Structure 1
């Protein structure tokens, strides 16, 4: 008895782009949705990452332009033991400092310093245009790192958002196609059963 050779299924690549009698308009639309979604996910994600990095860098530059460093002195001895210092202050405590602006007007403010510094110690503080003490602006390697990190985080998130939108559109097409198949089978099913002699 001769053995029947096994049936092999050949997968046709890019069949939605090729003309064939089984291809539907929804198949072509799905192919376009997938192509556009992947293209926008890659290019749009990269573009969003670059824009986010530039915005972050511009923000740092604007911050640096608004503040300037001044030389100040401590007006009292700083406690030797840190009190109520948060974990990210590395043991620093609040202290009062005094400085003179370029116009000659005296100012005082509170800054974080390491404990143990005596009265009269000179240190550099950062002030804004209103003469208030502010935090030191981000510069150098830290600024570069934050700019790159922002771009690296935004790019895949933006790409994933575009891909998710494409996937949602593709899912809608698939549900529509299944509904079309169900409707067509309701019409063709009786004919098929009659043709096959009532089997199935």
Structure 2
């Protein structure tokens, strides 16, 4: 005796069937609709985010430039104060802004420097101290990562909405089944139990 595998009928939810409910048809369209939105939408979100991030980082590289500052106070070799990454300590420096005004601010400097030492830092177009700009290769990696995250976030959101809609349809089917069972069940006569 041979065992026959069940015949799969593709697109069964779209076929005419007396047992098919409206929820079945809606569910049949949810998955292709979700993929239709997710695939191009995720790609568009990835590309737009990557280009925007790359443009913003290129703008930062263009705006930020080196400026010579003067250290206001001594920085001890083993400065116990606030430490910055790379074994540097925060110290106060003085510089002249692009508008000619004198400014002071905290920036990470090497330890062991004395007051009056020259320190090169970065400032933006407004004369405010800024971190060093990312290189173009680092900016490309960062923009690519941000773009990938944006694309995946959009795809995840679309799939989550689709999963929630399918769950809600399952709830509606279960509720309808319970209502129908309440109508038909008593007609079957005596229940055991």
Pairwise TM-score range, normalised by the shorter structure: 0.7 to 0.9
The counterpart of 2:120, out of the listed 116, 121, 124, is 124
Change (3 A) 1:183 1:6: farther
Between 11-20 and 74-83, report the one with greater CA deviation: 74-83
Q: Deviation digits for residues 146-188 of structure 1, max 9, x if unmatched?
A: 1111112222222111111111111222222233334444555
Q: Is the 8 A contact 1:82 1:91 kept in 2?
A: no
1:181 alignment partner in structure 2? 177
1:47 alignment partner in structure 2? 44
Between 17-26 and 159-168, report the one with greater CA deviation: 17-26
Q: Deviation digits for residues 105-154 of structure 1, max 9, x if unmatched?
A: 55444321111345665442112334232222333222222111111222
Structure of higher CA gyration radius: 1
The counterpart of 1:143, out of the listed 132, 139, 144, is 139
Q: For structure 2, which runs of at least 5 residues remain unmatched after alignment? A: none
The counterpart of 1:64, out of the listed 61, 66, 72, is 61
Q: Does 1:30 align with 2:27?
A: yes
Q: Does 1:153 align with 2:153?
A: no
Deviation at 1:32, TM superposition (A): 0.8
Q: Is the 8 A contact 1:85 1:91 kept in 2?
A: no
Count of residues in correspondence between the two structures: 192
Distance, in Å, in 1 between the alignment partners of 2:102 and 2:165 is 64
Q: Is the 8 A contact 2:39 2:155 kept in 1?
A: yes
3-state secondary structure, aligned to 2:153? helix
Distance, in Å, in 1 between the alignment partners of 2:17 and 2:137 is 58
Q: Does 1:84 align with 2:72?
A: no
RMSD of aligned C-alpha atoms? 3.3
Q: For structure 1, which runs of at least 5 residues remain unmatched after alignment? A: none
Q: Does 1:95 align with 2:91?
A: yes
Distance, in Å, in 1 between the alignment partners of 2:117 and 2:13 is 76
Change (3 A) 1:178 1:99: closer
